[in-house]
């Protein structure tokens, strides 16, 4: 399924991440999955939440630079090779994965992989056609 991921520019300095997560918590936004890409001087926090539009508006109004990107969330079967299968499918079809990260949904106890690709809709069609979704 396609999810709206919020990305935020974070400087590498103490308290920056804490400040962002605290303001999201205070607004009652539930983080479902997140990852931080870190370079030596800055990082990019990317997360899925229950209300991406509200999260984006909140961050922007607090002066953070943030954006929304559609990403593909794929439910994984708990078997060896299930991630490899998805990645091979994309590779065979010339779809480049910019980055990916995983999370476990509590209620279901299932693992998800979030994939950032160029055209998430066509990626999703590909997944559906191959029977993975």
Partner 1 sequence: MAYYQEEIERMPREKMAALQSERLIKQVRHAYENAAPYRRKMQEKGVEPGDIKGIEDIHKLPFTTKEDLRDEYPYGYLAVPLSNAVRIQSTSGTTGRRVVAFYTQHDIELWDDGCARAIVAAGGSKEDVVHVSYGYGLFTGGPGLNGGSHKVGSLTLPMSSGNTERQIQFMIDLESTILCCTPSYAAFLAETINDAGLIDKIKLKAGIFGAEAWSEEMRRDIEKNLRIKAYDIYGLTEITGPGVSFECSEQTGLHVNEDHFYPEIISPDTGEVLPEGGKGELVFTALTKEAFPLLRYRTRDVCVLTRKACSCGRTLIKMAKLMGRTDDMLIIRGVNVFPSQIETVLLSQGYTANYVIILDRVHHTDSFEVQVEMTSETFSDEVKFIEKKERELLSALRAMLGISPKVTLVAPRTIARSEGKAVRIIDKRKI
Chain contacts with partner 1 (rule: CB under 8 A): 5, 7, 9-11, 16, 37, 39, 41-42, 44, 46, 62-67, 69, 98-99, 116
* Distance separating alpha carbons of residues 43 and 28, to the nearest angstrom: 24
Nearest-approach distance from CB 17 to partner 1, in angstroms: 12
Residue placing its CB nearer to partner 1 in the complex, 67 or 82: 67
Nearest-approach distance from CB 63 to partner 1, in angstroms: 4
Rg (CA), the chain: 16
Residue placing its CB nearer to partner 1 in the complex, 31 or 44: 44
Nearest-approach distance from CB 82 to partner 1, in angstroms: 25
Q: Which residues contact 70 (CB under 8 A, 6 or more apart)?
A: 2, 3, 4, 5, 120
What is the DSSP pairing of strand 31-38 with strand 2-11?
unpaired
């Amino acid at each position: 399924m396609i999810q709206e991921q919020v990305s935020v520019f974070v400087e590498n300095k103490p308290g920056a991440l804490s400040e962002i997560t605290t303001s999201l918590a205070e607004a009652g936004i539930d983080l479902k999955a997140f990852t931080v890409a870190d370079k030596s001087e800055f990082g990019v926090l990317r997360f899925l939440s229950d209300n991406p539009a509200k999260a984006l508006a909140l961050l922007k109004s607090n002066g953070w630079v943030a954006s929304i990107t559609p990403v593909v969330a794929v439910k994984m079967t708990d078997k060896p090779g299930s991630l490899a299968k998805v990645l091979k499918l994309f590779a065979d079809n010339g779809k480049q994965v910019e980055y990916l990260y995983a999370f476990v949904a509590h209620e279901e106890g299932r693992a998800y992989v979030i994939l950032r690709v160029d055209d998430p809709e066509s990626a999703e069609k590909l997944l559906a056609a191959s029977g993975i979704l």
